[in-house]
Amino acid sequence: MFDGLVELLLALPEHNVALDGGNRDSQNDVFALIRYGDQTRAATIEGKVSEPFGPPVGEWFAQSSQQKRDRMRQLCGLLCLDEVPPSHIRYQLMHRDEAAMIVHSFSPTRMWFEEFASFARLLGAEAERDQSSTVTLKSGQRLRLGWATGNEDFLAC
């Protein structure tokens, strides 16, 4: 997925990240600190088989309480979006805002890749399976997005 050798420095499973609004933190399957080349980066990894990336933003935001408005404002700010994203974008993808956001999919039918690709396009990136793409947000922060296909043999366990 990245050019050259990638070294895992730290991995924290089920890592929570506090966000404004709402009743819960954002939970990442794995928070990782990785090194590739001369760069050290933080990454969140979302493991998937069949489950979706949460409800679409339009559904999640339909009954928008003040807490949801606060959370959406913070998420849009982190991702340098000027407005609430289109209603079809999946909410769970909105709160993955580290230097790298990687989906590790074990789905034999590649479920939910199109939703991930739609989110990447929202940020100005093109998503391809087993490739990473980098987008520079309006803030100047670089965000690397990636979809990694897991070995289906692990589903047989």
- Whole-model pTM above 0.75? no
In sequence order, what are the residues at sequence separation of 6 or more whose Cβ sits closer than 8 angstroms to the Cβ of residue 63? none
Rg (CA), the chain: 15
The predicted structure's pLDDT at residue 61: 85
Q: How many whole angstroms separate alpha carbon 46 and alpha carbon 62?
A: 25
The predicted structure's pLDDT at residue 88: 92
87-133 pLDDT, tens digit per residue, is 998 888 876 555 677 788 888 888 889 999 998 998 888 999 988 88
Q: How many whole angstroms separate alpha carbon 152 and alpha carbon 139?
A: 38
Q: How many whole angstroms separate alpha carbon 84 and alpha carbon 89?
A: 10
Residue ranges, the chain, pLDDT below 70: 1-4, 20-22, 95-99, 155, 157
The predicted structure's pLDDT at residue 99: 62
Q: How far is CA 7 from CA 43, 84, 117, in A?
A: 12, 36, 26
At position 12, the amino acid (one-letter code) is L
The predicted structure's pLDDT at residue 1: 43
The predicted structure's pLDDT at residue 2: 47
Question: Which residue's entry shows tokens 């998937």?
Answer: 48
